[in-house]
Amino acid sequence: MRWYLRSKIHNAVVTQADIDYIGSITIDSALVEKVGFQEGEKVAVWDVTNGERLETYVILGRRNSGIICMNGAAAKKIKKGDKVIIAGFELSDKYIKPKIILVDEKNRFVKHL
């Protein structure tokens, strides 16, 4: 068994950072659906702007809002305006072809990569 990249949102921009919220990352539910994440799923968040890397879990945001919000302690490491990559993985004994999407500066779907 190996860990494989299963899903990735590339080039997202953090729209909010809420230190007072209890953990997680809020992601526009249309993007969650498009890439195949699920609410509560563990994801890695890699900050392209400052190099921070962390793990958290997905909370569904308002559909087509473009929201990418870092919540709780993660908001101290990843700030509003930062560019991020959000990735989900799966443990499998067979290769998994990842579903990777590219978004624009307003976190709107551009294309599959």
Known catalytic residues are 24, 57
**Other residues' Cβ atoms within 10 Å of the Cβ of residue 20:** 7
**Residue 94, class by beta-carbon neighbours within 10 Å (0-12 exposed, 13-18 middle, 19+ buried)?**
exposed
Residue 76: name the closest of 19, 15, 14 by CA: 19
Question: Do residues 79 and 71 lie in contact, with contact meaning Cβ atoms separated by under 8 Å?
Answer: no
